[in-house]
A and B are shown apart, each in its own frame.
Chain A
Amino acid sequence: MRDLFSFRNLIFFLILVVILGGATVWLLEHNYLSDIVLQRSAKLHGIFDARQLKLENLGLIYPHLPYYLLIPFYFIPGLSPVMAPYLASIFVGAALLVVWQQQLQQRGYGLRFRMAILLVVVAHPYFLWAITSGTVQDALSLVLFYAFYLNISQLASERDIRSFIVLALILATYFFVDERAIFLFIALLPLLPLVAPQRMMKASPVSVYIVITFPFLASVASWAYLNWIFHHDPWLFWNSPESSFRGGWFRAPDVEWLRLYGGTWLLPILISCGYALVSFPVLAWLLARVRRDKVFFAASIVLFLHPLIAIGFGTLKYFVTHPLGMLFLFSSGIMAAIALVPPMGAVARRGVLVAMLMGVVGGWFTLSWNPDPEIERWHDAFLGQHLTPQHQGDLALGMWLRSHRLPTLLDEKGGFRVIVARGDAKGLFLSFSDEFKMAFKYKQPKVSQIAVPNPASLNGGRDMVNKQYPFFFARGMDKYQLVYDDDDWRVYRLRRDERVVAYAD
C-alpha cells in the first residue's frame, strides 16, 4: 500500500493525467462536448446556487455518487464546472492505471512490458471513450469492474469471508455509481455458481445468494425509500421519463440498436459476442491460457459472459443503446485478468500484446457498427473531424440570461445547456425550487421571467412549463411581455407594475 503512494507513482499518475487530458483537449477542440457533461455541470450549479443546499435537488432519478465526486471541483477557483467531469474522469482513469501498474510490478513484470501493455490499454477506443467522454460514471465503472473482477477471482480461489463481503459491497456501491449496475447484477446471478465455493453452493445456495445480493437489493430499496420520502413515489427512479435508470427506454425509436434488437436478448448477446471478440481478442487468448486452471478459467468465463448477458438483458428491457455501453468494461476486466493470471513468459507476453493491439484496431472498427449518436460524434471528433456546434439556441439564451439577471423560471431538465452557458444558476427558479412549485399552483404564475422552449422541439415537449401552460410559448400570458425570442426559446417577462405586486405577495 505504501508503495502505491510512492513519489514515482505520483509522477506516473501525473504523466497519465497529461496523456488522458491531452486526448480530452483534442476532443474539446473538435467541438465534442457531451450532453451528460453539461447536465452534470448544470446540476452542480443548480444545487449550489439554490437558496438551500439540498442533495435531493440533484434529482433521485440518477445515481448520485458521480455527482458527489464532482463537488470538490466546484470549489476550485477559476475552474469551470464544465471541466469538472472531465477532470474527475481523467483522475479516476489515471489512478486505475497506476494501481494496475503497481500490481503488475508486484507480479514481477518488467518496465518495458508494463509500459507497452499500458499503451495498448490506453489506446483502446473503449477505454478512451470511458475516460474522455467526461461521464465520470464510466470511469468509476471501470474501477468498480476492475475491483469486481479481482474479487470474483479471489472468491473462486481463496473463498474467505472477506471476498463475499467485498463482492457484495462492490455491487451495492455500483448501484449508486452507475445505473448499468442493475443489469450487471442480474447478469451475475446465473454466473455465480461458477465461482462460488462448490461446498457452500451445495450446502445452501440460497445463503450464498443472500450474502452476495442482499446489500445490492438494500441499495435499491434504500433508493426507492428516498424516492418515497422526497417525491412520494418509491418507483419514480424507474418510472420517470427522465430517469437514467431506464437507459434508452424513452428514446428507443431514435436508437438504432434498440430499433433493431430492442425487446430481444439472444441476438444481442450473440452480436455483442462478435463485438467483444473483435474488440477484445485478448479474451480468447485469456480463456485459452487459463483453460487448465479450474479457478481462473471459471473466473475468466464469468468475465467474458457477464457483460454479454448484461447486454442481452439490457437490450430486452430497452436499456442498452449500444454494446459499447457495457463492453467497455472489458477494458478493466482484462486489466485485472492480466494482473491475476500466472506470470507470463516472453512468448506469452508478446502474445498478449499482439492480441491487445489487434483489439485496438478492432475496437475502432466496431465503434462504427450501429453507433449511438453520441458515440458517433465522439468517434468523429477523435478522428480529427471538427463537429458542428449543437444547441446554439440554448447557448444564446444562456448568454442573454447572463446579462438579464431577473429571477427566471426555467425547467432545467431541458434547459441544462442554458444554465451552463449562463455560468451559474443564481436567481433561476429551477424545477425543484419552492418558487417553481409555487408558481405552478396558480392559473397565472407571477415570476419576473419565464423561459420556455419551443414545444415542437425534443426538449420543449417534456418541459414542465409547456406541460402546465401549453400555449405559453406561442401566445404568452396576460401581464407578460415577450422579451426574448428565437426558434428554440422564448422568454416572457412580467410587466413592471405586476412585478412589484408579485414581490409584495
Chain B
Amino acid sequence: MTTIPLGKENGSMATPKLRMGDLLVKAGFLSEEQLTDALSLQKNWGMRLGDIVLAKGWVRPFDLYSTLAKHYDKPFVNLMKEPPDQELFDRRDLLQYSELLVTPWRRIDNVLHVAVVDPSDEAMAFVAHRYGDDVELVFTSKFDVIWHLQHSADNYFSELAVNDLAECNPLQSARNVFTNRQLVFMAMILVSLVLTLSFWPIKTLIILNVCVSIFFLLNFGMRALLVWVGGAPEIDIKVTDQDVTGMVDRELPTYTILVPMYKEAAVLPKLTAALRRMDYPLAKLDVKLILEEDDQETIEAAKELGLEGIFEIIRVPPSFPQTKPKACNYALHFARGEFVTIYDAEDLPESDQLKKVIHAFALAPENTACIQARLNYFNSTQNWLTKMFTLEYSLWFDFYLPALEALKIPIPLGGTSNHFKMPVLRKLKAWDPYNVTEDADLGVRLTQHGYRVGVVNSTTFEEANSRFGNWIRQRSRWVKGYMQTYLVHMRHPLKLYRSLGHVGFWGFQFFIGGTILNMLIVPFLYGAYSVWLLTGTRVLEVLYPHAILYLSLFNLLAGNTFLVYIAMVGAFKRHYYTLIPSAFLSPFYWLMMSVAAYKAFWQLIHNPFYWEKTTHGLSEDVGLEVLNGLENLEVVEDSA
C-alpha cells in the first residue's frame, strides 16, 4: 500500500487514515478480488496500486484520481473545466510537468495551488524546489495534466517538434535538401558529363560502364559479406528465453511506446490487443497513441474504446511538415519512460520484446543507444507482392542488420520497433521531422555521435503492402528518405569519415548510397540487355571492351544469381519455405524498386517533405492474418 512522504510539515498533507485500495473498494470502484489481484501484482511489479488498477482498466481514471484526492484529503480539480492560470505556466519547466505530472494551477488568496497527479517523492521535491514551502496541493488526473500541457504549449511543442534539430544542429537536418556546396558539386559533375559526352561520347560511356560494373561488383561483395557475417549462428540468439524468464518485473523500468497513427481507426482494437498481451508489467507501460488533430475519426474511435490508463491519446496540432517524425517528436514531450519505442498501428510485436530489449541493452556496450528488433510480415503469403516483401525483409532484418551491427556500420533503423534510451534520444533532438525515413537517418546520426545501435532477436510482425500503388507510394517514401539521409550525412564527407571510421564510412556509402544508386541504374541495364536480347544489335558492343564484358557478365550471372539466392536463404532461415520459389522472380521486384526510386527522385526535387501515406488494413482477412502472425511467432520461438 502506498505511503507517501509529502515533505510538508504544515499539516496540509495529513497522513491518510485509510489505504487507497480500501478506499476504492469502499467506494465501490474496485471489487475485493480485484484488490487482492492488484496487491499481488503490486508485489511483483513494484508499482503504485493506482497505476495498476488503471493499467488493468479496473477503475476509471476520474474515479481513481478523485479517490486519491480524498485519500489525501485534498480537493480534486478537473483542469478542463477549471483550467490553470496561464500566467503561472513556465515553459522552462515543461519537461518536469510532463514527466512528474505536476502543473501550477492557480493562486488563491495569495497561495499557489499546484495540481498533482501522484504526490511522489520526485514530484514533491520538484514542487518544493520550484515553488517553496508555501504551496497548497490539489489533485487532478494525469489525462487532465496532459490535456492542459498540450493545450497550453501546443505551439511551443509543435515548434520544438519541427525545428529543434534544425535550429540546434542544422547540418544534420534535412530541412535544406541540398547545401550550396552539394549543388555546386552536382552541377560540376553534370557539366563535366555533358562536356565529355559531347567530345568523347564512346570513351565517356565506356568509363561510365566501368564505374557501374565496379560499383555492382563491390555492391555484391558488400552484400556477400553481410550475409556471411549475418549468418553466423551466434548472431541469432542474443537474448535467450531463459534470460527473459530470469528477469524480475519489479526491476523493470517504465517503457514508453509511441504509436503514431493517421486515419487508422479500424486497426485500433487489434493494436491495443497486441500491446495488452505484451509480457511486461502493464502499469510500467506508457503508451502514446499519437493522433493528428484533424483525424477526428481515429480520435473518436480511440475514445470510444474506453482504453485503460496505460493508453494516452496525444493530439498533434497541424503544422508543416505533416510527418510521422514530427508527430513522434511532439509526443516525446509527454513520454515518461526510461526507454522508448515506436510501433506502427498494425504491428504485432513478439510479446517478450520489451524484456528482450532491456536485457539486450544490459548486455550491450554502455554507449548503445538503440536496439532494433527484427521486422517481418504476418500476411506474407497473401499475394506475390507480400511474398516478395517478406523475402526482402527477412534478408534485411535477419542478415543485413545484425551484420551491420557486428561490423560497426551505421544501421538504417527500420520504421518501427526501434528501442531507444530516452535521455540519448532527447539529447540528439530525436527524429528529423523533415526526413521521411527519420529512422534510417537517426541510426546514422547515433553512430556519428559515438553511440552504437544493436539488434535483438525479437520480431515484430507487420502487414506487408499488398497492392502495387500502395507499395510504390511506401517505397518511394523510403527511397526519398534514404536520399535525404545520404545527402544530410554527406554534407561533410571527411567529417563523416572521421566519425564513422573506414568500415563505417564505406559501409554507409554502399548500404545507403549504394542502395539508391543501384535502384536508379538498374532500369538502364535491364533496358540495354533487353534491347540486345530482342534485337541482337551489335551497337552496344563498343561499350563493352573485353574486360568490361567479363565483369558485366560476372555481375549479370554470379551477382544476380547470388542476390536471388540470398533472398531464398533469408526465407529458409525464417522457415518460410513456401516463399522460396518466389525468389526467382526477384528481378521483377527490383524493377519495381526502380520505379519507386525514380518517383522518389522526382519528389526529392519537387516535394521533398511530402509524406506518402501507406494505407494499412488492406489484407483480405485481417483477423485470420493476426492469427497467422501469432502462429508465426511460435514457429520462430520454436526454432530459436
Flag whether B577 is at the interface (Cβ < 8 A).
yes
Question: Any chain A CB within 8 A of the CB of B301?
Answer: no
Measured between alpha carbons, how far is A214 from B564 in the docked complex, in Å? 10
Q: Compute how far the CA of A164 lies from the CA of B232 in the bound complex, rounded to whole angstroms.
A: 12
Which residue of A52, A161, A225 contacts B557 across the interface (Cβ within 8 Å)?
Answer: A225
B569 and A165 contact, CB distance less than 8 A: yes
Q: Say yes or no: is A210 at the interface (Cβ < 8 Å to chain B).
A: yes
A54, A158, A204, A226: the one contacting B553 at CB < 8 Å is A226
Q: Looking at the assembled complex, report how far the CB atom of A148 sits from the nearest CB atom of chain B, in whole angstroms.
A: 18
> Contact: B575 with A215, CB < 8 Å?
no
Cβ of B581 < 8 Å from any Cβ of A?
Answer: yes
Chain B residues with Cβ below 8 Å from A206 are 577
Chain A interface secondary structure, helix, strand, loop or mixed? helix
Given A161-B572, A161-B573: A218 and B580 interface contact (C-beta under 8 Å)? no
Q: Is B568 engaged at the interface, CB distance under 8 Å to the other chain?
A: yes
Q: What A residues does B580 contact at CB under 8 A?
A: 207, 210-211
Q: Which residues of A contact B558 (CB under 8 A)?
A: 222
B-side interface mostly: helix
Residue-wise interface mask of B (220-261) relative to A, using a CB-CB cutoff of 8 A (1 in contact, 0 not): 000000011001110010000000000000000000000000
Q: Of B236, B546, B573, B581, which is within 8 A of A210 by CB?
A: B581
- A165 and B227 within 8 A (CB): yes
A168 B233 Cβ-Cβ under 8 A: no
Quick check: A164 and B572 within 8 Å, CB to CB?
A: yes
For residue A225, which residues in chain B have a CB less than 8 angstroms away from its CB? 557
Residue B561 CB within 8 A of the other chain = yes
Which A residues lie within 8 Å of B565 (CB)? 168, 214-215, 218
Give Cα A446–Cα B490 distance, bound, in whole angstroms: 62
Shortest CB-to-CB span from B394 to chain A, Å, is 11
Scan A141-178; emit 1 where CB is below 8 A from any B CB, else 0. 00000000000000000101110110010000000000
Bound-complex Cα distance A164 to B568 (A): 11
Chain A residues with CB below 8 A from B581, complex form:
210
- Note all chain A residues with C-beta closer than 8 A to B568: 210-211, 214
Q: Give A109 Cβ to nearest chain B Cβ, in Å.
A: 26
What separation, in Å, do the CA atoms of A164 and B561 have in the docked complex?
16
B602 within 8 Å of A (CB atoms): no
Please tell me if A346 contacts chain B, counting CB pairs below 8 Å.
no
Q: A203 in the interface, Cβ–Cβ < 8 Å?
A: yes
Contacts of A218 in B (CB 8 A): 557, 561, 565
- Check B550 for interface membership: any CB of A closer than 8 A: yes
* Chain A residues within an 8 Å CB radius of B561: 215, 218, 222
Q: A168-B565, A226-B553 are in contact. Are A161 and B546 (CB under 8 A)?
A: no
A160/B233 in contact, CB under 8 A? yes
Complex partner residue of B231 from A162, A204, A222, A226, CB under 8 angstroms: A162
Q: Count chain B residues whose beta carbon lies closer than 8 angstroms to a beta carbon of A.
A: 23
Q: Could you say which of A55, A160, A204, A215 contacts B550, with CB atoms under 8 Å apart?
A: A55
Give the nearest-CB partner of A217 in chain B.
B561
Q: Which of B560-584 contact A (CB under 8 A)?
A: 561, 564-565, 568-569, 572-573, 575, 577-578, 580-581
**Which residues of the other chain, B, contact A214 by a CB distance below 8 angstroms?**
564-565, 568
Cβ contacts under 8 Å, A203 to chain B: 575, 577
Per the bound structure, the CA–CA distance linking A20 and B600 in Å amounts to: 61
Given contacts A207-B572, A211-B580, is CB(A162)–CB(B228) below 8 Å?
Answer: yes
B231 and A165 form a contact (CB under 8 A) = yes
**Chain B neighbourhood of A226, CB < 8 A:** 553, 557
Q: Is the CB of B577 within 8 A of A53?
A: no
Whether B231 contacts A158 by the Cβ 8 Å rule is no
CB distance from A319 to the nearest CB of B (A): 25
Residues from chain B with a CB closer than 8 A to the CB of A54 are 546
Closest chain-B Cβ to A372's Cβ sits at a distance in Å of: 34
Interface contact B550-A161, CB-CB below 8 Å: no
Residues on B with beta carbons closer than 8 Å to the beta carbon of A164 = 569, 572
A-B residue pairs in contact (CB < 8 Å), sample of 5: A161-B569, A165-B228, A165-B231, A207-B577, A211-B569
Give 8 new A-B contacts, CB below 8 A, not counting A165-B228, A165-B569, A211-B569.
Answer: A55-B550, A161-B573, A165-B231, A207-B572, A210-B580, A211-B568, A211-B580, A222-B561
What is the interface of chain B, defined by CB distance below 8 A to chain A?
Answer: 227-228, 231-233, 236, 546, 550, 553, 557-558, 561, 564-565, 568-569, 572-573, 575, 577-578, 580-581
